[in-house]
A and B are shown apart, each in its own frame.
Chain A
Amino acid sequence: MNQETVSAMKEKARAVRLGIIDALGVDKRGHLGGSMSCADIVAALYFHKMRHDPKNRFMADRDRFIMSKGHSVLAQYAALAEAGYFPRETLLKTKTLGSILQGHPERETPGVEANTGSLGQGLSIGVGMALAGRLDKLNYRTWVVLGDGELAEGQVWEAVTAAAAFKLDNLTAIVDMNGIQAVGRTCDRYNLGNIRGKFDAFGWKTFEIDGHDMAQVLQALDDASEVRGAPSAIIAGTVKGKGVSFAENTPAYHNNLLTKEQQEAARREIMAM
């Protein structure tokens, strides 16, 4: 992987993380942990891998991005603002009355492709988009980011079997495996066992990476795009709250607020990453 690209994407990931802090604001409860854990993946998709254009956002062959773990939408909002879908200042209005930036993804937001937030539905929506792409002979790819806690939803596995049955090689699932769900560690609360093994067993082509190693992230996105005859899954090991030391690996920051002092500390740490 080209070092310049890796460095450039690391900067984009920094911008995404700073945007998450903006969107979270001060003394407002918000989903910091899961947004930070997928920030590198989201940055790599929006600024390197996906074909998309904020000036032509409904172009038929754009790649589709679905944040199935909808509570982590702050990362997507930050990326969309950075890409120019709406002004960066809009992030400050996140989760306020009448804002285009709701607590979970809605299509009213420029750049958001589907409503998600009730966990477990995004991969199915992605299957529908991938089926339509094949029917229309358009070569776009649908990327769906899921949480590891979300995988407890049975519908995810209905979608996994459907994507395999239809051999949807234009669909990639990315599991942001940060290991923590709302109440505690996923392995303690509801242990799903071997995630990669499950996708493998269902006939997906799987890749396992460090979701914060940008070179690995970029390589995995490329590798997934090359898979033919089967859907692909990237199992990305991540750290919940990555970049903000007091929030890292702390279930309390699944959905929590930052004080003014914490916000400033978080910004300093992100700048130093």
Chain B
Amino acid sequence: MLMNLRAAYGEALLALAGENKNVVALDADLCGSTQSVVVEKNYPERYFEMGIGEQNMISVAAGLALTGKIPFAHSFSVFATGRPFDQIRQSVCLPNLNVKIVGSSCGLSDFGDGATHQSFEDLATMRVLPHMTVLCPADGIEVKWAVRAAAAIDGPVYIRLNRNDLPVLFDEKTSFEIGKPLVVKEGNDVALVCTGTMTSIALDAAALLEQQGISARVVHLGTIKPLCGKSLREALGNVRGIVSCEEHTIYGGLGSAVAEALCEAPLPMKMVGIQDRYGQSAVCYEELLECYGLTKEAVAKAAEALLKK
């Protein structure tokens, strides 16, 4: 079953706004795509159209948070994090303000629009900021949880969202927790540590590996930060190596975070991610994922190579 992550986000944001009158939404002329339009339609007084001005939007969100609001500021992830990086650092994270930054159309998921609209650096830039929590859900169910979890944190949160239909991996009973790695498949030889859309691809890779007699564990990190080394170590069980899988540059993202968390007692590791490149246009998402090496075959191949070492 597939679920669209944008639709799931809109549903969750609308429900949250209905329950908490302090929730306000800001957008930089992309509300139809990011789905913040649900707030404009239902609670127009709590929606602020900021025009195409992301820097101002983030600092305005800081001002709203300073007066007790819980602002959710929206744009595509490349614009929500890149253009106003200084505003996020200075206006929001330094004073630890209750601002939620929602980066939609992350990674390659805006396949048609090409390099300017694709974001491979946002996990890296957001996770280096003290006070920031970074969430990267894998399916629509987790998106809905992430919206509530973000609202429950009194501080800045970045939520990275894919724009496409993705397989449903979880259900209402899944026990999500900030910072908690989720073992979505047991296995003993190698761990595929993954986030976002790569979690469903890693599950497919694990099935491929099973056919070759390799037992692959799949560990989903819906939280990129904070990442607790001890919890991660426990989630890894007794595997002999790790393949990190992310729709993001291999510099500074999930793979780097995992390597940092385990550096005192490291395991052999390979990184599947984007190799120091920018994006490009394509006619469909899958075509781009293949072009950038983000497929189940690529993940399985990396796992095999790691175990052969």
Binary per-residue interface labels of chain A (197-215) against chain B in the complex, 1 for a CB within 8 Å, 0 otherwise: 0000000000000000000
CA distance A143 to B86 in the complex (A): 23
**Contact of A231 with B by CB under 8 A:** no
Interface centre among A118, A124, A132, A155 (most CB of B within 10 A): A124
CA distance A47 to B125 in the complex (A): 43
Q: Shortest Cβ distance from A267 into chain B, in angstroms? A: 34
**Contact of B19 with A by CB under 8 A:** no
CA distance A126 to B64 in the complex (A): 9
Partner of A136, one of B55, B67, B89, B94: B67
Q: Shortest Cβ distance from A76 into chain B, in angstroms? A: 16
- Which chain A positions have C-beta within 8 A of B61? 128
**Contact of B164 with A by CB under 8 A:** no
* CB closest residue in chain A, given B87: A121
Q: Shortest Cβ distance from B89 into chain A, in angstroms? A: 8
CA distance A53 to B94 in the complex (A): 26
**Contact of B56 with A by CB under 8 A:** yes
**Contact of B262 with A by CB under 8 A:** no
CA distance A116 to B69 in the complex (A): 19
**Contact of B153 with A by CB under 8 A:** no
- Which chain A positions have C-beta within 8 A of B24? 135
Interface centre among A113, A121, A131, A154 (most CB of B within 10 A): A121
CB-based contact B56/A159 at 8 Å: yes
User: What would be 16 A-B contacts, judged by CB atoms less than 8 Å apart?
Assistant: A106-B94, A118-B86, A124-B56, A124-B62, A125-B59, A125-B91, A128-B63, A128-B67, A128-B71, A129-B64, A131-B60, A158-B56, A159-B59, A161-B51, A162-B53, A166-B48
**Contact of B264 with A by CB under 8 A:** no
CA distance A129 to B24 in the complex (A): 13
**Contact of A271 with B by CB under 8 A:** no
The 4 closest A-B pairs by CB, nearest first: A128-B63, A124-B59, A158-B56, A132-B67
Binary per-residue interface labels of chain B (183-201) against chain A in the complex, 1 for a CB within 8 Å, 0 otherwise: 0000000000000000000
- Which chain A positions have C-beta within 8 A of B64? 128-129, 131-132
* CB closest residue in chain A, given B53: A158
Size bracket, chain A contacts: 20 to 34
CB-based contact B67/A155 at 8 Å: no
Q: Shortest Cβ distance from A70 into chain B, in angstroms? A: 9
Q: Shortest Cβ distance from B7 into chain A, in angstroms? A: 28
Interface residues of B in 29-85 (CB under 8 A from A): 45-46, 48, 50-51, 53, 55-56, 58-69, 71
* CB closest residue in chain B, given A128: B63
- Which chain B positions have C-beta within 8 A of A5? none
**Contact of B95 with A by CB under 8 A:** yes
CA distance A128 to B50 in the complex (A): 11
Number of A-B contacts (CB under 8 A): 98
Q: Shortest Cβ distance from B210 into chain A, in angstroms? A: 52
Size bracket, chain B contacts: 20 to 34
CA distance A127 to B61 in the complex (A): 9
CB-based contact B55/A113 at 8 Å: no
**Contact of B90 with A by CB under 8 A:** yes
Binary per-residue interface labels of chain A (86-109) against chain B in the complex, 1 for a CB within 8 Å, 0 otherwise: 000000000000000000001100
Interface centre among A113, A133, A158, A165 (most CB of B within 10 A): A158
CA distance A136 to B65 in the complex (A): 13
**Contact of A115 with B by CB under 8 A:** yes
CB-based contact A162/B60 at 8 Å: yes
> A155 and B60 in contact (CB under 8 A), knowing A115-B95, A125-B66?
no
- Which chain B positions have C-beta within 8 A of A236? none
CA distance A162 to B59 in the complex (A): 12
CB-based contact B68/A132 at 8 Å: yes
CA distance A81 to B91 in the complex (A): 24
> A114 and B63 in contact (CB under 8 A), knowing A155-B56, A161-B51?
yes
> A115 and B90 in contact (CB under 8 A), knowing A125-B66, A128-B67, A135-B46?
yes
CA distance A136 to B59 in the complex (A): 19
**Contact of A117 with B by CB under 8 A:** yes
Binary per-residue interface labels of chain A (156-195) against chain B in the complex, 1 for a CB within 8 Å, 0 otherwise: 0011011001100000000000000000000000000000
Q: Shortest Cβ distance from A145 into chain B, in angstroms? A: 15
* CB closest residue in chain B, given A70: B90
* CB closest residue in chain A, given B69: A132
- Given known contacts A114-B91, A162-B50, what 18 new A-B pairs fall within 8 Å (CB)? A114-B63, A121-B91, A124-B60, A125-B91, A128-B59, A128-B63, A131-B48, A132-B64, A132-B69, A135-B69, A155-B56, A155-B59, A158-B55, A159-B59, A161-B51, A161-B53, A162-B51, A166-B48
CB-based contact B66/A113 at 8 Å: yes
Q: Shortest Cβ distance from A116 into chain B, in angstroms? A: 8
- Which chain B positions have C-beta within 8 A of A155? 53, 55-56, 59, 87
CB-based contact B63/A124 at 8 Å: yes
Q: Shortest Cβ distance from A167 into chain B, in angstroms? A: 13
Q: Shortest Cβ distance from B179 into chain A, in angstroms? A: 26
Q: Shortest Cβ distance from A7 into chain B, in angstroms? A: 35
- Which chain B positions have C-beta within 8 A of A115? 90-91, 94-95
* CB closest residue in chain A, given B94: A115
Partner of A124, one of B45, B46, B55, B65: B55
Binary per-residue interface labels of chain B (262-301) against chain A in the complex, 1 for a CB within 8 Å, 0 otherwise: 0000000000000000000000000000000000000000
